[in-house]
Amino acid sequence: MRVKVQDAKMAGLPFVFSYLRFKVNFLFTSDVSKMAETLASEAHVAEWADRLIKQHKVVVFSKSNCPYCRKAIEAFQSVKAKDMHVEEIEGSPYMDAIQDYMKQQTGARSVPRVFIGGQFLGGAEDTIRAKADGTLVEKLRAAGAL
């Protein structure tokens, strides 16, 4: 029996269609999985960050190698702030998501991001300025952190 070239090509079409359907499904589900994973990590980060900010009177989102972060932390240490939580984010697998959430909440991704009594104070310059003009101590007293 002789097989025509056209018949041989047609015989392979179901395989080709099956393969293409697999690729499309794989790509789609892979993208959806990544999207779901990203959304889950963003929700987790938001919940975690909000909980930290509520649990502590002072929260500083920081990076250990950041000189501005050190200055902000030193400002709090110099006035003997109580219940200060410093979260060093550079080792976290969620660092980018944390910084994205900080941008969403505060307008900037940069560190430090400083919160007193659940309220956003600002970055290092804002913290140092508040220390110099006395408002840092006022805010800390109002939050019960002195």
Residue type, 87: E
Q: Looking at the domain assignment, is residue 68 inside a domain? A: yes
Flag residues of the chain having pLDDT under 70.
1-41
Q: Looking at the domain assignment, is residue 21 inside a domain? A: no
pLDDT at 42: 73
Residue type, 70: R
pLDDT at 37: 52
The domain tally of the chain equals 1
Helix (H, G, I), strand (E, B) or coil at 110: coil
Q: Looking at the domain assignment, is residue 36 inside a domain? A: no
Tell me if 85 sits within 8 A of 112, measured CB to CB. no
Rounded to 10 deg, the angle between the 135-143 and 67-78 helix axes is: 70
pLDDT at 41: 67
pTM above threshold 0.75: no
**Domain membership of residue 67 as a residue range:** 41-143
pLDDT at 80: 97
Residues 115-139 as b/e (b if ≥16 CB within 10 A, e otherwise) read: bbbeebbbbbebbbebbeeeebeeb
Q: Looking at the domain assignment, is residue 110 inside a domain? A: yes
Residue 96's CB: how many other CB atoms inside 10 A?
13
Which of 118, 93, 116, 79 shows the shortest CA–CA distance to 38?
93
pLDDT at 23: 45
pLDDT at 58: 98
Tens digit of pLDDT for each residue in 14-24? 544 444 444 44
Tens digit of pLDDT for each residue in 55-85? 999 999 999 999 999 999 999 999 999 999 9
Order of strands, sheet of 119-122, starting from the edge strand that comes earlier in the sequence: 84-88, 58-62, 113-116, 119-122
Q: Looking at the domain assignment, is residue 8 inside a domain? A: no
Tally of helices (H runs) and strands (E runs) in the chain: 5, 4
Domain CATH for 106: 3.40.30.10
Q: Looking at the domain assignment, is residue 87 inside a domain? A: yes
User: DSSP code of 111?
Assistant: S
Q: Looking at the domain assignment, is residue 20 inside a domain? A: no
Q: Looking at the domain assignment, is residue 76 inside a domain? A: yes
pLDDT at 8: 47
Helix (H, G, I), strand (E, B) or coil at 86: strand
